């Protein structure tokens, strides 16, 4: 240790008044020395290397910093202060190797970089083998199209419920992103269903623009495909199966009631709310799922009114994150006014219309999307 300390101190002294060429030579020598003994140094020794390398690297040209960044990027015990200095460099060629690979950067480092640096820095971060929810939240929030596409493709990235919601929202009108997000194995089912509705709407709009005369037929075909995929996803969902079993157990013991729907909604459990509300009002599960995912609150109001639910349950459902409604106090007040104005019989008539329309279209093998909502102005 004393020999090592003496050597590094001597190098530091030599470059303090030396030329740029001498500093670069000294940096290479110290870097070689560190890498040669990597994995065997103590914490104090690494800290010593850290101070010297930081001093050397702060006063050299960009080309040398790029080389240093590449050499230390994959070293598991690379000096942390040097790593952060390189990772936070404004020059992307210097920062990229560290942002892509360094195991010495923690989530706080990555979040700070993603929050303050350029899109090139964000894109480099998306290429790390593992990304936490905290990091991807920032990447999705600040990232441009290239950044969001890259992180959506990264199988090692993990997304929060909020992150998935923003990905689905950004996929509207972006078919490539929709494919990347839809192909992820970890996407929650309610986000997949929302993505499916969004993507199908995009496809439908393009087809209708190309062939306006066939608009009605196009809507029916796209809806049929969407419904078929939704059914397949539902039948293979473990969460849906568990929710269904739980509600059935409650029904068998005569314990099931609106209070369960309210509790599931407060817990923000999409699967349980969908199954419970479907059973409470004997509604088609497809209709309930679409209502829960619709950004407009209208269909939720109709379903809960037809099921004779209280406003407290309806409000809890509207505030679930699945549809990403983000309703303000004014929005909720408006929804409450519509809910109170809507009569139970009117709500049931709207659902009967849906049932009749679905039956007719099923007989012609051309199912349609959720029907237009009855206007609340005529609901009194």
Given a cut of 50, the residues of the chain with pLDDT beneath it are: 365-380
Residue-level pLDDT at 170: 92
Contact of 358 with 327, CB cutoff 8 Å: no
Q: Which residue has the tokens 């209280």?
A: 310
Compute CA distances 282 → 285, 295, 303, 304, 372, whole Å.
Answer: 9, 23, 10, 11, 20
pLDDT at position 376 is 38
Residue 102 burial by CB count (10 A; 0-12/13-18/19+): exposed, middle or buried? buried
Specify whether the backbone of 160 is left (phi greater than 0), alpha (psi in -120 to 50) or beta: beta
Q: Please name the residue ranges forming H helices in 17-79.
A: 20-37, 43-57, 62-72
Cβ proximity of 48 and 5 under 8 Å:
yes
135 and 109 Cβ atoms separated by less than 8 Å: no
Give the Å distances, CA to CA, from 23 to 11, 28, 51, 266: 9, 9, 14, 62
């Amino acid at each position: 240790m004393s020999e090592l300390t003496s050597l590094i101190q001597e190098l530091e002294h030599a470059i303090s008044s030396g030329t740029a060429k001498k500093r670069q030579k000294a940096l290479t020598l110290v870097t070689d020395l560190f890498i040669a003994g990597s994995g065997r140094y103590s914490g104090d020794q690494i800290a010593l290397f850290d101070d010297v390398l930081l001093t050397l690297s702060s006063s050299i040209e960009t080309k040398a910093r790029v080389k240093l960044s590449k050499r230390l990027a994959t070293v598991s015990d690379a000096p942390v202060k040097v790593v952060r200095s390189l990772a936070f460099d404004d020059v992307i060629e210097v920062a990229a190797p560290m942002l892509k690979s360094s195991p010495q950067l923690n989530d706080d480092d990555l979040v700070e970089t993603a929050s303050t640096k350029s899109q090139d820095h964000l894109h480099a971060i998306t290429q790390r083998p593992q990304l936490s929810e905290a990091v991807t939240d920032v990447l999705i929030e600040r990232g441009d199209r290239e950044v969001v596409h890259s992180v959506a493709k990264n199988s090692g990235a993990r997304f929060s419920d909020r992150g998935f919601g923003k990905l689905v929202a950004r996929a509207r009108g972006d078919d490539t992103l929709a494919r990347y997000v839809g192909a992820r194995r970890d996407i929650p089912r309610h986000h997949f269903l929302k993505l499916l509705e969004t993507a199908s709407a995009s496809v439908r709009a393009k087809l209708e623009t190309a062939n306006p005369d066939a608009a009605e037929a196009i809507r029916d075909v796209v809806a049929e495909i969407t419904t078929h995929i939704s059914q397949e996803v539902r039948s293979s969902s473990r969460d849906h199966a568990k929710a269904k079993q739980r509600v059935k157990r409650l029904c068998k013991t005569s314990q099931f009631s609106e209070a369960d729907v309210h509790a599931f909604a407060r817990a923000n459990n999409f699967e349980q709310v969908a199954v419970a509300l479907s059973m409470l009002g004997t509604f088609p599960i497809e209709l309930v799922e679409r209502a829960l995912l619709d950004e407009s609150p209208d269909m939720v109001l109709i379903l809960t009114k037809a099921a004779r639910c209280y406003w407290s349950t309806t409000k809890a459902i509207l505030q679930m994150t699945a549809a990403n409604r983000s309703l303000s106090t004014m929005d909720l007040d408006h929804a409450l006014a519509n809910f109170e104005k809507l009569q139970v019989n009117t709500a049931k008539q709207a659902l009967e219309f849906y049932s009749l329309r679905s039956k007719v279209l099923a007989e012609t093998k051309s199912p349609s999307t959720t029907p237009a909502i009855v206007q609340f102005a005529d609901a009194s």
